[in-house]
Copies of this chain bind each other. A is one copy, B any other.
Amino acid sequence: MDTKKNPLIGIIGGIGPYAGLDFLRKIFSNTRAVKDQDHINCILISCPSIIADRTEFLLNGERCNIENPARGMFESAQRLYRAGVEYAAVACNTAHSAPIFRPFSEMVQEYLPGFTVVNMLETCAAFVKESLNINHIGLLASKGTYKSRVYHEYFQEEEGAVLIEPEEQGREKIHEAIYSKQFGIKTYSQPVKPHAKNNIIYEIYRLVERGAQAVILGCTELPLAVDPRDFSVPILDPGLLTARRLITLAAPEKLL
């Protein structure tokens, strides 16, 4: 394969496995292709057994001596590197928190020359700043993401960004929409149950009522439940923005 002409895109998945799968599907479905051969060359690595729980690490890492997930993410990156990958992304929101993503990026920079990692949250923040030019941004996410405040690292108050999060009860409803064993998206995703969908739609409207000019779906499960076209404000999927960014880097003429 002429990797000059056909750069290889890599996805560090497994966190969780279905989020990685969904990320790869976004690359496929955003590629201009009428036959198999038109599609972009990609590799998805899904090695969840070597990557510790991200939220657990952020909340209890030091106290409970939990390994930094950065190590397993880096091992996944090494394997992609050996397979020939040039541009990669990590298919998980919480993994982008500084205590995880910073050491990961440092190891990549030191040991994997020419391996570019596109930061999903940075990509989302850049899109909001450059294309939307707004500063009140609603955020729907899992409890772990709120607690770890990972989005606050990328949308900084000093720069004028105001992140609007659901109130306590709303966070609970979103958490249930993702995790409930009865109707949550992690258990029922094809199709998503109406109960989960309604929880999310209601909380999007609540955020808009409270002044959100756009709403970020800050958990890889949420985009499975709602269609952004159904709302009057921009609904942002960081995974989708990053998939499109990877296509732009590897083969800009193929971006749909």
Contacts and interface: CB of A to CB of B under 8 A. Distances in A.
Interface residues of A, number: 40
Contacts of A25: 18, 21
Interface stretch (A43-51, A159-167, A170-178): A43-51
A21 B42 CA distance: 11
A64 interface: no
What is the oligomeric copy number? 2
A205 interface: no
A35 interface: yes
Given A1-B49, A82-B83, A17 B36 contact: yes
A193 to B, nearest CB: 15
B46 A24 contact: yes
> Which of A14, A44, A75 has the most C-beta atoms of chain B within 10 angstroms of its own C-beta?
A44
B21 A39 contact: no
30 contacts: A1-B47, A1-B49, A1-B72, A1-B75, A6-B49, A14-B39, A15-B36, A16-B36, A18-B25, A18-B28, A21-B25, A24-B44, A24-B46, A35-B53, A37-B48, A37-B49, A37-B52, A38-B48, A39-B46, A41-B47, A41-B48, A41-B49, A41-B50, A42-B45, A42-B46, A42-B47, A45-B83, A79-B84, A82-B82, A190-B190
Interface of A: 1, 6, 8, 14-18, 21, 24-25, 28, 35-53, 72, 75, 79-80, 82-84, 190-191
- A-B pairs with lowest CB-CB distance, top 9: A41-B47, A79-B83, A16-B36, A83-B83, A36-B48, A82-B82, A39-B48, A44-B44, A1-B50
